[in-house]
Amino acid sequence: MQHSPLISVGLPIYRGIKTLRMAIRSIQLQTYENWELIVIDDGPEDGAAALIATLADPRIQYHRNPENLGLPASLNRALTFATGEFFARMDQDDISFSDRFATQLAFLQANPDVHLVGGQLFVMSMAAEPLGIRAMPTAHANITRKPHVGIAVVHPTYFGRTAWFKQHGYFEKARLCEDFELLNRSYPTSKFSNVETLVIGYREADQFHLKARRMRKRIIRIFLGRRPMKKRYWQTLKTVCFHSAMCVLDTILIITGLEQRSLLRRLGTPSQAQLTTWEQLLEECQA
């Protein structure tokens, strides 16, 4: 019988061989098993194809871009291969909690008016050491309360209806800020949520504010370079002004060496049960 997945998972990769196996293992360990994993390789040859071949899992597809296209274009390409009713995001250096798909799928099936759902994040260092919990709001009104700052659904936690993703698509010129642009453009006619449970072990870059500053500069460039949607001129102005100011703050934090302290202040302390679950997941993904 031909495999007919309900969930398509988009996993673009770029020089991600060091963490790729753990990311894929976390998908293979999902309690909900009716999925297909679409790996889009956007970088130079680094052994990813050989690694995937050793896993011998027919649910995993591997596609190599003919040239470097960038993350938004790679995600759009993944959508062209997607056959599932639902589409989930996965990053090459993150780890999905084992009940992620089951939880997010059940939520969307119980809430047909919601287009996209994310969840809570267990934040770790690049070395997979626990840093804390990033709590995300669950109600649409709170998630979209300050769109100029950002819609509060974190990109690697995205789990939505494939038709919604294909309708809106990723803006391919919005490299580094494709998630911000997508949700900012679509939120007036969409409904978002976050489940209350942890769904992703999220690797935070060592130079977080340097990465954030590059993203903000790209947001400013994208929003200044396009004609604002009708009745959204004020929103565009607020977006540009806010991220210009935050670029200055990011620079100050980088110069003063306060990046790590700034990051940790925004994170909650994980419970012992959460730490135990995380340690068990990490051990299983490394096996």
The pLDDT tens digits of the residues spanning 178-203 come to: 999 999 999 999 999 999 999 999 99
**C-beta of residue 193 within 8 angstroms of C-beta of residue 107:** yes
Per-residue model confidence as pLDDT tens digits over 116-155:
999 999 999 989 999 999 999 999 999 999 999 999 999 9
- The answer as to whether 66 is a domain residue is yes
Mean pLDDT in residue range 33-59: 96
Is the predicted pLDDT of residue 1 greater than 90, yes or no?
no
Would you give the DSSP letter of residue 80? H
Looking at the structure, do residues 34 and 156 belong to the same domain, yes or no? Answer: yes
- The answer as to whether 1 is a domain residue is no
**C-beta of residue 201 within 8 angstroms of C-beta of residue 281:** yes
Q: What is d(CA 187, CA 229) in angstroms, rounded to the nearest whole number? A: 13
- The answer as to whether 92 is a domain residue is yes
Per-residue model confidence as pLDDT tens digits over 48-71:
999 999 999 999 999 999 999 999
- The answer as to whether 158 is a domain residue is yes
Is the predicted pLDDT of residue 90 greater than 80, yes or no?
yes
Looking at the structure, do residues 134 and 214 belong to the same domain, yes or no? Answer: no
Looking at the structure, do residues 256 and 164 belong to the same domain, yes or no? Answer: no
Looking at the structure, do residues 107 and 192 belong to the same domain, yes or no? Answer: yes
Domain range for residue 78? 7-206+271-286
- The answer as to whether 36 is a domain residue is yes
- The answer as to whether 2 is a domain residue is no
**C-beta of residue 84 within 8 angstroms of C-beta of residue 6:** yes
Looking at the structure, do residues 42 and 174 belong to the same domain, yes or no? Answer: yes
| Total count of residues recorded for the chain | 287
Is the predicted pLDDT of residue 252 greater than 60, yes or no?
yes
pTM over 0.85: yes
Per-residue model confidence as pLDDT tens digits over 230-242:
567 888 889 999 9
Number of domains in the chain: 2
Helix, strand, coil percent content, the chain, rounded in steps of 5: 45, 20, 35
**Residues 54, 125, 120, 136: is their CA dihedral positive or negative?**
negative
Supply the mean pLDDT for the chain: 93
Looking at the structure, do residues 187 and 222 belong to the same domain, yes or no? Answer: no
Check which CATH number belongs to the domain holding 201 and give it: 3.90.550.10
How is residue 281 written in tokens? Answer: 């997941």
What's the confidence (pLDDT) of residue 155?
Answer: 98
Q: What is d(CA 270, CA 134) in angstroms, rounded to the nearest whole number? A: 10
- The answer as to whether 223 is a domain residue is yes
Looking at the structure, do residues 280 and 140 belong to the same domain, yes or no? Answer: yes
- 196's enclosing H/E stretch is strand 192-203
Looking at the structure, do residues 215 and 200 belong to the same domain, yes or no? Answer: no
Looking at the structure, do residues 199 and 216 belong to the same domain, yes or no? Answer: no
CA distances from 154 to 120, 143, 283 (A): 9, 11, 25
Looking at the structure, do residues 250 and 152 belong to the same domain, yes or no? Answer: no
Looking at the structure, do residues 243 and 121 belong to the same domain, yes or no? Answer: no
Is the predicted pLDDT of residue 31 greater than 80, yes or no?
yes
How is residue 171 written in tokens? Answer: 């803006």
Residue that wins the pLDDT comparison between 258 and 115: 115
Looking at the structure, do residues 256 and 158 belong to the same domain, yes or no? Answer: no
- The answer as to whether 129 is a domain residue is yes
Residue 161 CA to chain centroid, in angstroms? Answer: 15
Number of H helices, E strands in the chain: 11, 9
Residue that wins the pLDDT comparison between 191 and 224: 191
Q: What is d(CA 55, CA 72) in angstroms, rounded to the nearest whole number? A: 27
